């Protein structure tokens, strides 16, 4: 029928692949557990189907024609996809098992990941996790070096040589004590905050890199009075007026009333921060790691 997709026999495609690799019909027949005549017949039928010769026959064996090289490229892809399909189907049938090494920045681990991990582990009860909380730069390095399967970082931390998938967005706000001079403002610019002292995050964190970069663009510096990595500790220090801090709104919401803090809208485009999933190479992940990345994607 005109325009219909060609139908290729998978056994014949595999025979073609083995002959192309071995360059010898007799060896290919032995590997495929077929008679030499059956292998030759399948190759001839395949050449008739595609309409061009796939092999050059000579005394020393067989070589691929340019058309054969093209066909081998696609047959190898089909063969790989079929193997991967079978692996994943096997895991559906027997209950997926595996181990995933996950590293995440604090805000993702504290806020977004908890429900996602719970729902994934209910679907895959035999999958184990090794979860580490790290700063973004360390996570990117661990994924690039193969020490972590999956990383979750701020988008501006992700390395160009890693594959990246969208995960969440988080809104950054300015946290201040209820009696701080800025507490009466509904929203503030970052420039407004730089007239005051700050409680800063870990020096290697993506948050510190972001704030330092934005201050530099304003040709200003941040007056860091204290540095500390714990979000809760930052809020406690803000409550006793040691300074302002910039944190994800969803993280600090539970601390506002008990600690008598206010969250001021940060009137900057960069205050809406993308959180992404990073992997070294998605195609090389285990089936369960691929399933986890798929589960995280919106």
- Can you give the pLDDT at residue 1? 44
Predicted local distance difference test score (pLDDT) of residue 91 = 59
Q: Do the first three CATH levels of 98-168+274-296 and 171-271 match, i.e. the same topology?
A: yes
* pLDDT tens-digit readout, 234-246: 999 999 999 999 9
Are 186 and 267 in contact, with CB atoms under 8 Å apart?
A: no
What pLDDT does 3 receive? 57
**Mean pLDDT rounded to a whole number for the chain:** 90
Question: Model's pTM, two decimal places?
Answer: 0.65
Phi, psi of 196 (to 5 degrees): -125, 165
Name, in order, each residue with C-beta under 8 angstroms of 283's C-beta and a sequence gap of 6 or more: none
Give the chain as a 3 state SS string.
Answer: CCCCCCCCCHHHHHHHHHHHHHCCHHHHHHHHCCCHHHHHHHHHHHHHHHCCCCEEEECCEEEECHHHHHHHHHHHHHHHHHHHHHHHHHHHHHCCCEEEEEEECHHHHHHHHHHHHHHHHHHCCCEEEEEEECCHHHHHHHHHCCCCCEEEEEHHHCCCCCEEEEEEEEEEEEEEECCCCCCCCCEECHHHHCCCEEEECCCCCHHHHHHHHHHHHCCCCCEEEEECCCHHHHHHHHHCCCCEEEEEHHHHHHHHHHHCEEEEEECCHHHEEEEEEEECCHHHCCHHHHHHHHHHCC
Selected from 3.10.20.30, 1.10.3720.10, 1.10.10.10, 2.60.40.60, the CATH number assigned to the domain covering 10-94 reads 1.10.10.10
Q: Model confidence over 138-196: pLDDT tens digits?
A: 999 999 999 999 999 999 886 778 999 999 999 999 999 999 999 999 899 999 999 99
What pLDDT score was predicted for residue 59?
77
- pLDDT digits 0-9 by tens, 98-137: 899 999 998 898 888 999 999 999 888 889 999 999 988 8
Evaluate whether the domain defined by 171-271 bears CATH number 3.40.190.290.
yes
Give the pLDDT score at 238: 97
Contact criterion met (CB below 8 Å) for 120 and 292: yes
Antiparallel, parallel or unpaired: β 245-248 and 163-177: antiparallel
pLDDT of residue 88: 64
Which is more confident, 2 or 184? Answer: 184
Q: Which two tokens stand for residue 62?
A: 């067989």
Domains in the chain: boundaries: 10-94, 98-168+274-296, 171-271
Q: What are phi and psi of 42, to 5 degrees?
A: -65, -40
Look at domain 98-168+274-296 and name its CATH class.
alpha beta
């Amino acid at each position: 029928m005109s325009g219909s997709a060609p139908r290729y026999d998978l056994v014949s495609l595999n025979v073609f692949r083995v002959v192309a690799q071995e360059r010898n019909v007799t060896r290919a027949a032995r590997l495929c557990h077929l008679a030499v005549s059956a292998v030759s017949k399948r190759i001839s039928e395949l050449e008739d189907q595609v309409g061009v010769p796939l092999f050059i026959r000579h005394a020393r064996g067989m070589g691929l024609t340019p058309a054969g090289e093209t066909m081998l490229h696609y047959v190898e892809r089909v063969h790989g996809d079929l193997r991967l399909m079978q692996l994943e189907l096997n895991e559906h049938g027997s209950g997926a098992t595996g181990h995933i090494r996950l590293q995440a920045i604090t805000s993702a681990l504290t806020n977004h990941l908890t429900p996602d991990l719970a729902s994934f582990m209910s679907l895959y009860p035999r999958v184990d996790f090794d979860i580490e909380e790290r700063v973004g730069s360390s996570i990117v390095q661990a994924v690039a070096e193969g020490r972590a399967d999956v990383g979750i970082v701020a988008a501006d931390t992700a390395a160009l040589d890693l594959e990246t998938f969208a995960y969440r967005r988080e809104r950054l706000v300015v946290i201040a004590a209820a009696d701080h001079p800025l507490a009466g403002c509904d929203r503030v610019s970052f420039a407004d905050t730089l007239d005051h002292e700050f409680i800063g995050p870990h020096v290697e964190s993506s948050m510190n890199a972001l704030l330092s970069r934005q201050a530099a663009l304003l040709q200003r510096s941040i007056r860091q009075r204290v540095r500390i990595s714990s979000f809760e500790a930052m809020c406690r220090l803000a409550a006793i007026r040691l300074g302002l801090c910039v944190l994800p709104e969803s993280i600090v919401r539970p601390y506002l009333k008990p600690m008598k803090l206010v969250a001021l809208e940060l009137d900057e485009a960069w205050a809406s921060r993308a959180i992404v999933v990073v992997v070294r190479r998605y195609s090389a992940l285990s089936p369960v790691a691929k399933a986890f990345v798929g589960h995280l994607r919106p």
